[in-house]
Amino acid sequence: MAQKLEYKGEWIATLVHDEEGDYIEPPIVHDPDGTVIMGREVLESIIDSGVSVEVPIIEGCTRERLAEIDQALTQLSADLGVPIGSR
């Protein structure tokens, strides 16, 4: 089971509930050139698991925006008491 997590009104991550516990699945983030700069591990884990998980895709991300996303994920993790990334 999964739940969309928003930060300041934007879907920023997915809270996953599974038999091993809860965790935050971060977004897939592309820079302005289309290169994946965050979330490569997310893609690999989804492929390896064979399980479908809906995660946000953020495109055209600048360094400043990436820092904001990282801070938002850290805050959500602290607020919810769950780790970022699969166990």
Q: How does pLDDT run across 58-86, given as a tens digit for each residue?
A: 999 999 999 999 999 999 999 999 999 86
Q: Where are the domains of the chain?
A: 2-80
State the pLDDT at residue 20: 81
Question: What's the CA gap between 79 and 73, in Å, rounded?
Answer: 10
Question: Is residue 87 pLDDT above 60, yes or no?
Answer: no
The residue among 64, 76, 65, 78 whose CA lies nearest residue 26 is 76
Tokens describing residue 29 = 């983030």
